[in-house]
Amino acid sequence: MRIKSALVALLIGFALPAYSTEPTGLPFRAEIPFEAGVAFDATKVPLREDALSRDKAALEAYAAAALPKALAVSEDAGWIGMFRMRDNVTNPVDTHDARRIALQSCQFTAGLPCRLVAVDNRMAATEQPLLEALPAGQFTDDLLPFWLKSSASTRGKQFVTDYHSLSGEKAFVMAPFAGARIFFNTGASLEEARNRALQRCSNEISQPNVRCVVLAENDRFVIRDIDARRVALTGPKIERVAKVTVLYVGALNCGPCRWW
């Protein structure tokens, strides 16, 4: 089976092979294996030459960032996803959060499976496996993408519980690069519920170039569905962004985290 995806910035569709994991997505409890090798070197990140040149500043920022941090690269070597802490701030963040969110950010941006290439200040010792980091299937609180485990264990669970308690057609929207803020609404139809949630998100997020994403519809994750992502990217008041790289770092109520 083949699925359609798109580059987030340009919305260009292309065919990709289907990947699967068991279970789908990376739950908060998942320990993502990583064998550390040599010291991090931005020039050694396995990106295409054009991407390596384009993302030079981002990779230098990663090198200088405090721990924990993680860097992932897409299957086509054209996109990166990153988790890093705010400058000069420390916080007890689980290192597995860094790995998981870097992979999710990369997959979201590229529309492709990604692999870890660096964790903290070390490159991968060997080529890491490609992972589908974004969840699919039943919408559950232990699979919320882009959230820190510490946040998801309390507020995240409550958000999902409140959402599941709603009757009728409903949609769950997130602004992953604006603190992973959450919005959800019901409607007479699924389209109405989706548009209401997207409208709330676009109205309340003040950061420039914000992208609100349909995370779930009714009781199923749809974040891997490019049609749902395209709706989010072209929804009310949401601009298409010609941004070549996305650095996601953080989650709701994560004061020390940073996102660009």
* 91 and 165 inside one domain: no
So what's the pLDDT on residue 152?
65
Q: Quick one: how many helices (H) and strands (E) in the chain?
A: 7, 12
Please indicate, yes or no, if residue 31 is contained in any of the structural domains: yes
Q: How far, CA to CA in Å, does 25 sit from each of 81, 136, 256?
A: 16, 6, 25
* 90 and 37 inside one domain: yes
So what's the pLDDT on residue 37?
94
Among 89, 124, 159, which residue terminates a domain?
A: 124
* 157 and 227 inside one domain: yes
* 158 and 118 inside one domain: no
* 118 and 183 inside one domain: no
Please indicate, yes or no, if residue 148 is contained in any of the structural domains: yes
Cα 250 from chain centroid? 10
Please indicate, yes or no, if residue 253 is contained in any of the structural domains: no
* 152 and 94 inside one domain: no
User: In total, how many domains does the chain have?
Assistant: 2
Burial-class residue 86 by CB neighbours within 10 Å (0-12, 13-18, 19+).
middle
* 117 and 11 inside one domain: yes
Please indicate, yes or no, if residue 178 is contained in any of the structural domains: yes
* 159 and 51 inside one domain: no
The answer to whether the beta carbons of residues 114 and 46 sit under 8 Å apart is no
The answer to whether the beta carbons of residues 172 and 180 sit under 8 Å apart is no
* 144 and 59 inside one domain: no
So what's the pLDDT on residue 133?
92
Distance CA 173, CA 254 (A): 19
What is the pLDDT tens value at each position of the chain, 260 positions in all?
Answer: 333 222 222 222 223 333 344 446 888 877 888 999 999 999 999 999 999 999 999 999 999 998 899 999 999 999 999 998 765 555 567 788 899 999 999 999 898 999 999 999 999 999 899 999 999 999 998 888 988 877 666 788 899 999 999 999 999 999 887 778 899 999 999 999 999 999 999 888 877 667 888 999 999 999 986 554 444 444 333 322 222 222 323 333 333 333 32
Please indicate, yes or no, if residue 150 is contained in any of the structural domains: yes
Q: What is the DSSP letter of 174?
A: E
Q: Sheet harboring 114-119: ordered strands across?
A: 36-39, 122-124, 114-119, 70-74, 80-83
Q: Could you list the residue range(s) of the whole structural domain that residue 209 is in?
A: 137-233
Please indicate, yes or no, if residue 8 is contained in any of the structural domains: yes
* 110 and 35 inside one domain: yes
Please indicate, yes or no, if residue 255 is contained in any of the structural domains: no
Please indicate, yes or no, if residue 247 is contained in any of the structural domains: no
Among 124, 159, 187, which residue terminates a domain?
A: 124
Among 101, 124, 147, which residue terminates a domain?
A: 124
* 39 and 113 inside one domain: yes
* 158 and 223 inside one domain: yes
So what's the pLDDT on residue 197?
94
